[in-house]
């Protein structure tokens, strides 16, 4: 076997090795990586910084993969020299390794512009997992960060730092952001989005120096102004790493020059990825790496003939809620531009057409059609006939339509270059049924992840036993899926359960559909519907929780778990007066009076003089709090007040399933906010808002929705999620299932990162519902029906 030495353990090198492994074995492989990690997905570093993924989540090739393929892996060793005559490489550990074939996958490094003081502590590039970890360690609420460079990487770094709690300013040399991918108009839209997120952007300014004594304290700009900064992140561009190539005597321009077969000027040395220059172009994107890797694998294994002819450049900004996509040549020279923009929604789209074919595309604010455009670009599709539908494709009635229309040769995963045909073959040949199997087998959707839904569509269409979450009809009485039903109720303006059952169902209904329909109508019409008590569970008819012996339990509202001696006395008096069999402190910081007769409920409510705690319903249960800054010596936020206020804003409202919340004043998490449906976690300088936690039948750690500075902002984020859950979850779907089903990325995108108009509409509907809601226990004084709480008194009596 020949000895193949691979220098570089990054995405390009390992993608190429993966391709080489698809051929008959002919190499004994050794891989050198100067980082101490196995191969990970570098383009996902920004989502690690933003806390969306953990470092483990972005591993592409675990250590077992290297072992399984008998690859010798040398981590933390930098190759410092190549001897092309004796065919050896030398490591910085002094080791000398002989090769028959050498593969350089040395990638690129952050380009450090001429700025004074870049050697100061607190100055970073944002290039590796170690950089990312250090940035996470150093950032936090109150930290001031300056990002030098308003390109793709700089903006992603800025957002990540901001999510970590930093105050972030981006300083960009050019007059608009991402000028290499976006025209000035699109750059302006992007700038508005970044500023809406709370990131300050300074354009047209050069950073001339990092200030500070030993460590960064600020930066000086070309306009003589200065910015205070604890962290300075330089993201000014990348440069191919070609030092070794020089030593190997290869032809090098900007990058290592390769031909269409991916050969360098030395027949025994190959190169792939960001370090190479092909037809005069050095790529800094992920898709070309894979395309090059395939060709190189063919060439290196003696299957010469495959050719790499270049890649249509495409870039996608990975910032949640800021959708930006750019591809091809979008300049307006010699092209016909087609444009659409909507300032209120922050949507900007531009296509350029040349000779009836798509030449380039820019999308800001809505990138849902990016696949379609990318395919047109790659295939050079003639668009003459669809000229009027370019920006507005007809409504796709079926989600699978896009997938069905695509030709077999069309690329589904642009990052890893996986075609529709390859996916379909994999599904058939390997019996694939799940997305994770598909990822494992084809690597599709393991790059930026934007093709995940397309992959799922294909699985759905082709896999014989695709395990998808089936859109279940609500029940046989009204045979529609819940989202469809919501549309029907809204569009047909139906306001009563019985009407729905008679028009769209069997006219009868059951204990499954009736409460679900009741909830939907209440939510859709913000409480302005014809409430039918017979359609609701007994608990909601009498506002108490039925027990195994037919008695009820009474839980008064004690907001945030904060009560008073007076309330406690009244509770005690009530317990005495009505001979309540058990008085229990609940797990939710409430007091439960158990074993109450139905006819006593109104009297007990009156004597308590407290509102309903709604412990019996699918609605807002409670907010649990710790003592926060009021008494606790560790408290960093006033969690008690925040929790009480959150409870006030949400109480009396119904939800698809019960909603339990908590607010804690510090990350010690004494009120267990991270396992609640909604949790506010106080930290120095702000709050983390977490959602979808559970500590019941399921145990699930809540996902981070957003990090904000003020209590009001935290409450608003909670409100957005709360209303979004009310409107989109299926009945009896807890937030932890809901968040898991949709994915936190989608939830964020539709709530805290949604356009201003969308957010405002959610809040408006929530407030409308709230304005119509009232304390259920007031019915004790004014019953809905004379016999609501009392048994019938027979007109005639009979003796036993």
Partner 1 sequence: MNEPRWVRIAPCDSIPPREGRAVTLAGREIAIFNLGDDRFLATDNQCPHKGGPLCEGIVSGHAVVCPLHAWKIDLETGSVQRPPRVETCIHTYPTRVEDGVVVIGLPVSPAARKAEGQAA
Q: Which residues are near partner 1 by CB under 8 A? A: 508-511, 514-515, 532-538, 541, 546, 548-550, 785-787, 791-800
Least separation in angstroms between CB 695 and partner 1: 25
Nearer to partner 1 by Cβ, of 782 and 795: the residue is 795
- The secondary structure of residue 605, as a DSSP letter, is H
Nearer to partner 1 by Cβ, of 340 and 537: the residue is 537
Cβ burial of 31 (10 Å; 0-12, 13-18, 19+) is: buried
Nearer to partner 1 by Cβ, of 508 and 699: the residue is 508
- From the centroid of its chain, how far is CA 530? 38
Least separation in angstroms between CB 509 and partner 1: 6
Least separation in angstroms between CB 478 and partner 1: 12
- From the centroid of its chain, how far is CA 493? 34
Nearer to partner 1 by Cβ, of 86 and 793: the residue is 793
Nearest to 170 by CA among 142, 189, 198: 198
- The secondary structure of residue 789, as a DSSP letter, is S
Distances (CA, A) of 79 to 29, 82, 111, 220, 300: 15, 8, 20, 37, 21
Q: Which residues partner with 352 through β-bridges?
A: 337, 360
Q: Which residues partner with 592 through β-bridges?
A: 584
Nearest to 227 by CA among 240, 245, 250, 209: 209
Nearest to 35 by CA among 105, 107, 126, 130: 130
Nearer to partner 1 by Cβ, of 30 and 539: the residue is 539
Tokens for 95?
A: 């080791």
Phi, then psi, of 724 in degrees rounded to 5: -60, -40
Nearest to 250 by CA among 410, 84, 91, 97: 84
Least separation in angstroms between CB 508 and partner 1: 4
- Return the SS3 of 280: coil
Least separation in angstroms between CB 657 and partner 1: 17
Nearer to partner 1 by Cβ, of 619 and 628: the residue is 619
Nearer to partner 1 by Cβ, of 502 and 672: the residue is 502
Please state, in angstroms and rounded to a whole number, the distance separating the CA atoms of residues 393 and 376: 13
Least separation in angstroms between CB 417 and partner 1: 53
Please state, in angstroms and rounded to a whole number, the distance separating the CA atoms of residues 142 and 158: 14
What's the start-to-end Cα distance of the chain, in Å?
A: 100
Least separation in angstroms between CB 651 and partner 1: 24
Nearer to partner 1 by Cβ, of 521 and 678: the residue is 521
Nearer to partner 1 by Cβ, of 436 and 797: the residue is 797
Nearer to partner 1 by Cβ, of 464 and 550: the residue is 550
Q: Give all strands of the β-sheet with 357-364 in edge-to-edge order.
A: 314-319, 322-328, 357-364, 347-354, 336-342
Radius of gyration of the chain (CA): 31
Least separation in angstroms between CB 585 and partner 1: 25
Least separation in angstroms between CB 729 and partner 1: 22
- The secondary structure of residue 730, as a DSSP letter, is P
Nearer to partner 1 by Cβ, of 757 and 790: the residue is 790
Give every CB contact of residue 421 below 8 A, 6+ residues apart in sequence. Answer: 408, 409
Least separation in angstroms between CB 578 and partner 1: 19
Least separation in angstroms between CB 691 and partner 1: 30
């Amino acid at each position: 076997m020949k000895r193949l030495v691979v220098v570089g353990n990054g995405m390009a090198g390992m993608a190429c090795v993966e391709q080489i492994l698809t051929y008959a074995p002919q190499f004994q492989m050794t891989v050198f990586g100067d980082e101490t990690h196995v191969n990970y997905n570098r383009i996902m570093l920004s989502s690690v910084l933003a806390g969306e993924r953990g470092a483990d989540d972005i591993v592409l090739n675990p250590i077992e993969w290297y072992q399984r393929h008998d690859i010798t892996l040398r981590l933390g060793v930098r190759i410092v020299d190549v001897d092309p005559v004796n065919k050896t490489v030398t490591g910085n550990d002094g080791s000398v390794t002989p090769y028959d074939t050498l593969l350089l996958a040395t990638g690129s490094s952050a380009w450090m512009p001429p700025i004074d003081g870049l050697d100061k502590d607190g100055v970073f590039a944002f290039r590796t997992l170690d950089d990312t970890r250090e940035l996470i360690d150093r950032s936090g609420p109150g930290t001031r960060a300056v990002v030098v460079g308003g390109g793709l990487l700089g903006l992603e770094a800025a957002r990540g730092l901001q999510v970590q709690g930093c105050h972030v300013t981006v300083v960009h040399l050019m007059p608009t952001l991402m000028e290499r991918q976006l025209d000035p108009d699109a750059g302006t839209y992007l700038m508005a989005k970044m500023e809406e997120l709370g990131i300050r952007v300074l354009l047209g300014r050069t950073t001339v120096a990092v200030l500070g004594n030993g460590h960064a304290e600020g930066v000086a700009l070309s306009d003589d102004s200065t910015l205070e900064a604890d962290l300075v992140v330089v993201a000014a561009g990348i440069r191919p790493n070609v030092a070794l190539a020089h030593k190997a005597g290869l032809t090098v321009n900007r990058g290592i020059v390769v031909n269409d077969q991916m050969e360098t000027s030395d027949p025994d040395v190959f190169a792939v990825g960001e370090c190479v220059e092909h037809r005069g172009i050095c790529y800094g994107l992920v898709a070309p790496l894979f395309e090059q890797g395939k060709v190189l694998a063919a060439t290196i294994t003696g299957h010469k003939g495959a050719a790499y002819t270049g890649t249509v450049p495409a870039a996608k900004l990975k910032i949640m809620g800021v959708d930006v996509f750019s591809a091809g040549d979008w300049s307006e020279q010699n092209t016909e531009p087609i444009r659409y923009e909507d300032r209120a929604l922050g949507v900007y789209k531009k296509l350029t057409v040349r000779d009836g074919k798509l030449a380039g595309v820019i999308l800001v604010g809505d990138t849902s059609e990016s696949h379609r455009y990318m395919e047109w670009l790659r295939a050079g599709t003639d668009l003459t006939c669809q000229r009027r539908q370019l920006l507005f494709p007809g409504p796709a009635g079926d989600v699978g339509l896009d997938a069905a229309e695509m030709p077999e040769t069309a690329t589904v995963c642009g990052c890893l270059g996986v075609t529709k045909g390859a996916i379909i073959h994999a599904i058939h040949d390997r019996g694939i049924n799940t997305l994770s199997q598909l990822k494992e087998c084809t690597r599709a959707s393991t790059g930026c992840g934007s093709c995940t839904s397309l992959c799922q569509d294909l699985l759905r269409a082709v896999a014989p036993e695709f395990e998808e979450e089936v859109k279940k009809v609500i029940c046989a009485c009204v045979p529609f899926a819940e989202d469809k039903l919501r549309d029907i109720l809204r569009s047909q303006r139906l306001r009563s359960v019985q009407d729905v059952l008679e028009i769209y169902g069997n006219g009868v209904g059951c204990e499954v559909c009736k409460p679900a329909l009741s909830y939907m109508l209440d939510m859709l019409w913000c409480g302005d519907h014809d409430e039918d008590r017979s359609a609701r569970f007994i608990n909601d008819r009498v506002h108490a929780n039925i027990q195994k012996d037919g008695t009820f339990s009474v839980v008064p509202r004690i907001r945030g778990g904060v009560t008073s001696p007076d309330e406690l006395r009244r509770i005690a008096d009530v317990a005495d007066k009505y001979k309540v069999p058990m008085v229990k402190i609940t797990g939710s910081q409430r007091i439960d009076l158990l074993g109450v007769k139905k006819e006593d409920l109104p009297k007990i409510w009156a004597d308590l003089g407290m509102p309903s705690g709604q412990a019996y319903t699918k609605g807002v249960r409670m907010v649990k709090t710790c003592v926060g800054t009021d008494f606790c010596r560790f408290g960093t936020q006033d969690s008690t007040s925040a929790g009480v206020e959150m409870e006030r804003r949400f109480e009396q409202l119904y939800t698809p399933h019960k909603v339990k919340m908590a607010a804690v004043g510090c990350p010690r998490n004494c009120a267990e906010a991270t396992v609640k449906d909604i949790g506010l976690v106080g930290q120095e300088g702000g709050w983390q808002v977490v959602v979808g936690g559970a500590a019941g039948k399921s145990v699930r750690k809540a996902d981070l929705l957003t990090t904000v500075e003020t209590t009001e902002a935290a409450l608003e984020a909670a409100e957005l999620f709360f209303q979004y859950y009310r409107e989109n979850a299926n009945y009896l779907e807890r937030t932890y299932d809901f968040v898991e089903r949709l994915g936190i990325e989608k939830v964020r995108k539709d709530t805290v990162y949604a356009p201003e108009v969308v957010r405002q509409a959610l809040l408006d509907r929530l407030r409308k519902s709230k304005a119509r809601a009232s304390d259920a226990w007031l019915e004790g004084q004014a019953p809905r029906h004379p016999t609501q709480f009392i048994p019938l008194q027979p007109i005639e009596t009979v003796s036993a």
